[in-house]
């Protein structure tokens, strides 16, 4: 399950590497991408917050799954079919955050923290990506 966190980070790092292509999109497409990236960021922040409180983030699996399914269409024009599908599938493979939360909550505190930091890092990177894509004139 820890691979889920790595997969989410892999997706956002890949997208950040493609940020110039994403930011070159027409204004409405950029706005749509930015809104999706912000939703993913918010979902991940909520997951981390709930895990920190010892809770299971119910409903977040379906939310993240939906965003993963939307991702390819949001970026396909800018990055190509293959890359868009690959990134969507990688994010989709990481949507089981409720199960991840249950496993993290069973860990010792010192083992939880690196995983939570990675989730929070991914959330921050998705927010940064939204900002980068949105501010392009």
CA distances from 72 to 41, 48, 84 (A): 17, 25, 4
Q: Model confidence over 101-114: pLDDT tens digits?
A: 999 999 998 999 99
* 87 three-state secondary structure: helix
Q: DSSP letters along 3-44, please?
A: HHHHHHHHHHHHHHHTHHHHHTS-HHHHHHHHHHHHHHHHHH
Enter the pTM of the model: 0.95
At 131 the pLDDT is 96
């Amino acid at each position: 399950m820890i691979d889920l966190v790595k997969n989410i980070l892999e997706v956002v790092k890949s997208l950040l590497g493609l940020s110039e292509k994403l930011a070159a999109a027409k204004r409405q497409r950029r706005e749509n991408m930015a809104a999706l990236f912000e939703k993913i960021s918010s979902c991940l922040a909520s997951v981390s917050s709930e895990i920190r409180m010892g809770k299971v983030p119910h409903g977040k699996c379906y939310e993240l799954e939906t965003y993963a399914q939307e991702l390819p269409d949001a970026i396909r024009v800018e990055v190509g079919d293959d890359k868009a599908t690959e990134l969507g599938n990688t994010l989709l493979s990481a949507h089981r955050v409720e199960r991840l939360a249950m496993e993290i909550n069973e860990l010792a505190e010192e083992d939880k923290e690196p995983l939570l930091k990675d989730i929070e890092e991914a959330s921050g990177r998705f927010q940064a990506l939204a900002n980068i894509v949105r501010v392009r004139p």
